[in-house]
């Protein structure tokens, strides 16, 4: 199905094997707020062994060198697992190699690709989420380094990361207001957690509010050129939106499989509930939307593999994939809870966990509204044939 090559099917099977090994740990992770460190470390090791870690980085840097379609196939499989256990199939920043200095490669990227270091992103602020341009964090040149200040929100994986990408605006007369991106080691003097709020999902990765107060970094920690900060964020968004779409498709596949199995065996009113038209309709709608989402997802990935230079079209189509797949997965999770009945409201049930966990897929990496704005802007300026 889907015209996958033997190599595509091979990497997909390895990712599926990892996901199948992780699924039995979901309930323990749910009830304990994560897994013991040694178990989580073993899962990461397994992802590396199976060759599904850093699939988005070139082979010469130690990554998997996978096509965009293959990266999607991997993230789709690990998306079948709840509680973010599938995040062990990590995707380090693939936008970074072309702009990283040798020193940055050695200190940050290469150890990340080897699974020895982990990054996080400190971009969003209390007053700047969708509108990244509104950030108030500052970077001031001082001698042979920079001094960073700002308070960042929702810094995912701050509790496990070894360094972060910190986005700020330059202060001063020359180039004031330009966006700059920095590498900040964690911990560093001046970096402190303000608070760690609880979120709907119960994954082990926290999203604290983090204060950066007079944090000094050497000039060597500036990423790329001054003023390029937003360009890298956009490249990352494009990639990550497609991967969000892939994980949502995987989640929907799991939910469709589990709810249809349950509906076939659960008897009510003298018949399996799948035989009741109202339940059958929920199953049929869910698998139909999954097929539509997956077709859109794979075609978006294939288009990038055919012509990686057409980043404009990719930007809109990745938004379309994220928008459709995340909203589809949310609808499927809602139906799955309904099909499971009271069981679907129990935290030990996959539908209950995905019902909560999938909600954020419509918010992070750009909300559904922002995706619609991107798509509509290109549609009205380039016409329908450019996008669909």
Ligand X SMILES: Cc1cc2nc3c(=O)[nH]c(=O)nc-3n(C[C@H](O)[C@H](O)[C@H](O)COP(=O)(O)OP(=O)(O)OC[C@H]3O[C@@H](n4cnc5c(N)ncnc54)[C@H](O)[C@@H]3O)c2cc1C
Q: Count interface residues toward ligand X (CB under 6 A).
A: 20
SS3 141: strand
> Is residue 331 classed exposed, middle or buried when 0-12, 13-18 and 19+ CB atoms within 10 A define those classes?
middle
Residue (of 347, 379, 362) closest to 83 by Cα position: 347
Q: What is the CA radius of gyration of the chain?
A: 21
Stretch that binds ligand X, among 21-29, 123-131, 177-185, 237-245 (CB under 6 A): 123-131
- In this chain, which of 360, 379, 386, 387 binds ligand X, going by CB under 6 A? 360
Query: Do the Cβ atoms of 67 and 59 come closer than 8 Å?
Result: no
Does 224 help bind ligand X (rule: CB under 6 A)? no
Could you say which of 155, 320, 339, 351 contacts ligand X (CB under 6 A)? 155
Q: Which two tokens stand for residue 141?
A: 């040149």
Give every CB contact of residue 106 below 8 A, 6+ residues apart in sequence.
none
Alpha-carbon distance of 91 to 198, in angstroms, equals 25
Closest contact distance (angstroms) between CB of 274 and ligand X is: 35
Among 87, 95, 121, 182, binds ligand X (CB under 6 A): 121
Which residues is 191 bridged to in the sheet?
212
Q: Is 356 in the site for ligand X (CB under 6 A)?
A: no
The one among 17, 99, 151, 363 contacting ligand X by CB under 6 A: 363
**Smallest distance, ligand X to C-beta of residue 17, A:** 28
Site for ligand X in 170-199 (CB under 6 A): 199
User: Coil, helix or strand for 157?
Assistant: coil
Min dist CB 324 to ligand X, Å, is: 16
Using the rule CB under 6 A, give the single segment among 86-94, 153-161, 296-304, 351-359 that binds ligand X.
153-161
What is the C-alpha separation between 248 and 267, in angstroms, rounded? Answer: 30
Interatomic CA distance for residues 11 and 73, integer angstroms: 8
> Maximum distance among all alpha carbons in the chain?
79
| Minimum distance, C-beta of residue 194 to ligand X, in the bound complex (Å) | 15
- Looking at beta carbons only, is 202 or 221 nearer to ligand X? 202
Q: Which of 53, 85, 86, 83 is nearest to 71 (CA)?
A: 53
**Residue 206 touches ligand X, criterion: CB under 6 A:** no
Choose the binding region for ligand X from 27-35, 170-178, 214-222, 363-371 (rule: CB under 6 A): 363-371
Shortest CB 252 distance to ligand X, Å: 20
Pick between residue 97 and residue 129 the one whose CB is nearest to ligand X: 129
- Which residue minimizes CB distance to ligand X? 129
Could you tell me which of 227, 232, 202, 209 has the C-alpha nearest to residue 155?
209
Instruction: Give me the residues that bind ligand X (CB under 6 A), please.
Output: 120-124, 129-130, 154-156, 199, 207, 360, 363-364, 366-367, 369-370, 373
């Amino acid at each position: 199905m889907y015209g996958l090559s033997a190599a595509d099917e091979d990497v997909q099977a390895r990712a599926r094997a990892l996901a199948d090994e992780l699924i039995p740990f979901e309930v323990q992770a749910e009830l304990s707020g994560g897994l013991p460190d040694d178990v989580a470390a073993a899962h990461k090791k397994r992802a590396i062994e199976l060759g599904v870690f850093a699939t988005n980085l070139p082979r010469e840097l130690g990554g998997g060198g996978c096509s965009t379609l293959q990266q999607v196939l991997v993230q789709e499989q690990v998306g079948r697992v709840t509680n973010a256990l599938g995040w062990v199939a990590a995707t380090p920043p693939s936008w970074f190699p072309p702009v990283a200095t040798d020193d940055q490669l050695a200190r940050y990227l290469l150890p990340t690709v080897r699974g020895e270091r982990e990054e996080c992103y400190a971009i969003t602020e209390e007053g700047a989420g969708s509108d990244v341009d509104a950030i108030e964090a500052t970077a001031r040149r001082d001698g042979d380094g920079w001094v960073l200040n700002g308070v960042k929100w929702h810094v995912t994986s701050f509790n496990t990361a070894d360094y972060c990408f910190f986005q700020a605006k330059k202060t001063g007369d020359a180039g004031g207001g330009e966006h700059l991106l920095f590498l900040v080691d964690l911990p560093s003097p001046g970096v402190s957690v303000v608070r760690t709020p609880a979120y709907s999902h119960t994954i082990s990765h926290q999203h604290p509010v983090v204060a950066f107060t007079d944090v000094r970094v050497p000039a060597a920690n500036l990423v790329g050129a001054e003023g390029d900060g937003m360009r890298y964020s956009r490249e990352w968004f494009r990639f990550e939106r497609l991967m969000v779409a892939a994980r949502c498709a995987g989640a929907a596949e799991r939910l469709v499989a589990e709810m249809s199995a349950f509906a076939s065996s659960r008897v009510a009113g003298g018949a399996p509930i799948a035989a009741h038209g109202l339940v059958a309709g929920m199953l049929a709608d869910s698998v139909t939307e999954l097929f539509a989402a997956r077709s859109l997802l794979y075609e978006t990935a294939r288009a990038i593999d055919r012509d990686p230079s057409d980043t404009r079209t990719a930007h809109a189509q990745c938004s379309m994939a994220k928008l459709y797949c995340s909203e589809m997965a949310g609808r499927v999770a809602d139906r799955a809870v309904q099909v499971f009945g009271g069981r679907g409201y129990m935290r030990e049930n996959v539908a209950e966990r995905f019902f909560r966990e999938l909600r954020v897929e419509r918010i992070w990496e750009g909300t559904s509204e922002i995706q619609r704005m991107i798509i509509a802007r290109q549609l009205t300026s380039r016409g329908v044939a450019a996008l669909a």
